[in-house]
């Protein structure tokens, strides 16, 4: 959410930013916001004048009462009653207009960084850099679901009976490899100086509205019926919400956090896609990294964070590339974002395994997260980045380590988490 003062003083920049995001239907909202803000300030001024007048009249009543001028005091008391009635009406109208203002402010997108490429959708995302050499072996690599099934590691049929499409059972060494990767990701991030956290897996609606746009919420999140609770789609939501309405000490920043959670997503519009496999599912596990820092330090941390992701995947001998997300592919709260994509030797192309984003102070404004400085309280910046989201990482591991005999070679860094095993065989 932008600062209303910024919108008031930078209308052209706000409108140009909306155009860059190909959301021209939101342009009228800017004038509406400015008009509502003007009306609210006028009401506030009128209310302040009436309160001053009421205070003056109250003092006058006291003086008249001391002088025994009861008749005049009662007349002024009646005037004070009328002032109070007028103030009630003003405060009600101000509250109504503030709600309308907030509603409109929440859908005006954050100002994107000047370096973000302009484009309508993810087809216009720009490759930044490749890390590791993409390879294709001289033997066929089966579909990842078939690899898992051949190693007795996947049962989607039973999951369909218990839970429906988009769910799965992982079993045996495949399940163990999945969890080994998450455990390794946890330790990898701890070694980078991040504090390990396990957050609540459900959050209230006020936190949801603070960390994401309404459209994202509708497409992603499962609501608990009869409760003001949502299942999290990523632990970032719960972790940022941890600091709601908090004032942090400036000298304690940055806060470096890495969190584990299961994640639940409706994946609206994705039904029927990858039904056999594990690429798009309703439930998965994730290791996330979150940074809360000063606004002026946010871009420095953004670059550090995606580099950590690249380092992590390269430690698993998985080739990756980074893609700069274009303006039309950025969620409304994001200032800048890049995707990390892993190499698929079976498909001979890269696919998304994580995303790194800086949101400036947008989430902090919505949730009231500030830092205490010698110049007063200031909003902080929030950033998030995927360490791993499995089973997407599991797919990359299986394909990049598939051997001609149908076995899976376990990367060295994962072997301690697999009881010393170096291979998964049927």
Q: What is the pLDDT of residues 303-354, one digit of tens each?
A: 999 999 999 999 999 999 999 999 999 999 999 999 999 999 999 999 999 9
Q: Taking phi first (over 0 means left), then psi (-120 to 50 degrees means alpha), and beta for anything else, what does residue 158 get?
A: alpha
Q: What is the mean pLDDT of residues 67-80?
A: 85
pLDDT of residue 351: 95
* pLDDT band at residue 267 under the 50/70/90 scheme: confident
Q: Is residue 195 part of a domain?
A: yes
pLDDT of residue 214: 67
82 and 211 housed in the same domain: no
- Whether the upstream peptide bond of residue 254 has omega within 30° of 0, thus cis, is yes
Q: Is residue 197 part of a domain?
A: yes
Choosing from 105, 138, 161, the residue where a domain stops is: 105
End-to-end CA distance of the chain: 53
Nearest Cα residue to 22 out of 307, 362, 330, 346:
330
64 and 192 housed in the same domain: no
* Per-residue pLDDT tens digits for 278-312: 888 999 999 999 999 999 999 999 999 999 999 99
Q: Per this entry, what is the length of the chain?
A: 426
For the domain that residue 65 is a member of, what is the CATH number?
1.10.287.40
Q: Is residue 92 part of a domain?
A: yes
- H-run or E-run covering 170: strand 169-170
CB 44 within 8 A of CB 145: no
Distance CA 395, CA 353 (A): 10
CB 326 within 8 A of CB 116: yes
356 and 417 housed in the same domain: yes
Q: Is residue 413 part of a domain?
A: yes
Q: What is the mean pLDDT of residues 143-151?
A: 95
Choosing from 105, 138, 166, the residue where a domain stops is: 105
Domain that holds residue 31: 4-105
Please give the residue that has the higher pLDDT: either 60 or 7.
7
70 and 165 housed in the same domain: no
Q: Taking phi first (over 0 means left), then psi (-120 to 50 degrees means alpha), and beta for anything else, what does residue 400 get?
A: alpha
pLDDT of 70 above 80: yes
Please give the residue that has the higher pLDDT: either 389 or 272.
389
For the domain that residue 367 is a member of, what is the CATH number?
3.30.930.10
50 and 161 housed in the same domain: no
Nearest Cα residue to 394 out of 99, 85, 114, 184:
184
164 and 252 housed in the same domain: yes
Choosing from 72, 105, 138, the residue where a domain stops is: 105
pLDDT of residue 220: 83
92 and 126 housed in the same domain: no
Distance CA 220, CA 218 (A): 6
Q: Is residue 110 part of a domain?
A: no
419 and 304 housed in the same domain: yes
212 and 328 housed in the same domain: yes
Residue written as token pair 């000063």: 294
How many Cβ atoms sit within 10 Å of the Cβ of residue 114? 6
Q: Is residue 113 part of a domain?
A: no
152 and 94 housed in the same domain: no
* Per-residue pLDDT tens digits for 223-258: 999 999 999 999 999 999 999 999 999 999 999 999
Distance CA 110, CA 19 (A): 12
3-state DSSP assignment of residue 207: helix
Q: Is 272 exposed, middle or buried (0-12, 13-18, 19+ CB in 10 A)?
A: exposed
60 and 16 housed in the same domain: yes
Average confidence score pLDDT of the chain: 93
pLDDT of 271 above 60: no
Record the pTM.
Answer: 0.89
334 and 260 housed in the same domain: yes
The C-alpha torsion from 235 through 238 and 242 to 244, rounded to 10°, is 130
3-state DSSP assignment of residue 151: coil
Residues of the chain with pLDDT > 90, as a percent, come to: 84
pLDDT of residue 273: 45
The structural domain count of the chain equals: 2
Q: Is residue 111 part of a domain?
A: no
């Amino acid at each position: 959410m932008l600062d209303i003062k910024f919108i008031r003083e930078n209308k052209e920049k706000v409108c140009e930013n909306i155009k860059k995001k190909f959301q021209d239907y939101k342009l009228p909202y800017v004038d509406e916001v400015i008009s509502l803000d003007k009306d609210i300030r006028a009401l506030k001024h009128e209310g302040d004048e009436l309160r001053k007048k009421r205070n003056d009249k109250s003092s006058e009543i006291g003086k008249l009462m001391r002088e025994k001028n009861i008749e005049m005091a009662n007349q002024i008391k009646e005037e004070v009653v009328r002032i109070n009635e007028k103030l009630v009406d003003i405060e009600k109208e101000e509250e109504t207009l503030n709600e309308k203002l907030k509603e409109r402010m929440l859908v005006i997108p954050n100002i994107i960084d000047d370096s973000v490429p302009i484009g309508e959708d993810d087809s216009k995302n720009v490759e930044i850099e490749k890390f590791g050499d993409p390879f294709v072996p001289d033997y066929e690599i089966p579909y990842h679901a078939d690899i898992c099934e051949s190693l007795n590691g996947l049962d989607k049929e039973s999951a369909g009976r218990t839970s429906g499409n988009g769910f799965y059972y992982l079993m045996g060494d495949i399940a163990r490899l999945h969890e080994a990767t998450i455990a390794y990701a946890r330790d990898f991030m701890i070694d980078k100086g991040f504090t390990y956290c396990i957050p609540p897996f459900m959050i209230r609606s006020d936190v949801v509205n603070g960390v994401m746009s309404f459209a994202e919420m509708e497409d992603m999140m499962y609501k608990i019926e009869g409760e003001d609770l949502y299942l999290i789609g990523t632990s970032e939501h719960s972790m940022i919400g941890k600091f709601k309405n908090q004032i942090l000490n400036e000298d304690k920043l940055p806060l470096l956090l890495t969190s584990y959670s299961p994640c639940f997503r409706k994946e609206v519009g994705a039904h029927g896609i990858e039904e056999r496999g594990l690429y798009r599912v309703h439930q998965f596990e994730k290791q996330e990294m979150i940074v809360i820092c000063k606004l002026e330090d946010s871009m420095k941390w953004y670059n550090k964070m995606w580099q950590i992701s690249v380092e992590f995947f390269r430690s698993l001998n998985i080739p990756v590339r980074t893609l700069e997300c274009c303006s039309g592919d950025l969620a409304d709260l994001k200032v800048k974002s890049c995707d990390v994509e892993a190499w698929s030797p079976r498909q001979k192309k890269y696919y998304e395994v994580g995303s790194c984003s800086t949101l400036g102070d947008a989430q902090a404004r919505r949730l009231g997260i500030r830092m205490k400085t010698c110049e007063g309280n200031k909003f902080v910046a929030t950033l998030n980045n995927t360490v791993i989201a499995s089973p997407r990482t599991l797919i990359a591991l299986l394909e990049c380590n598939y051997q001609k005999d149908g076995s899976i070679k376990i990367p060295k860094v994962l072997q301690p988490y697999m009881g010393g095993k170096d291979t998964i065989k049927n």
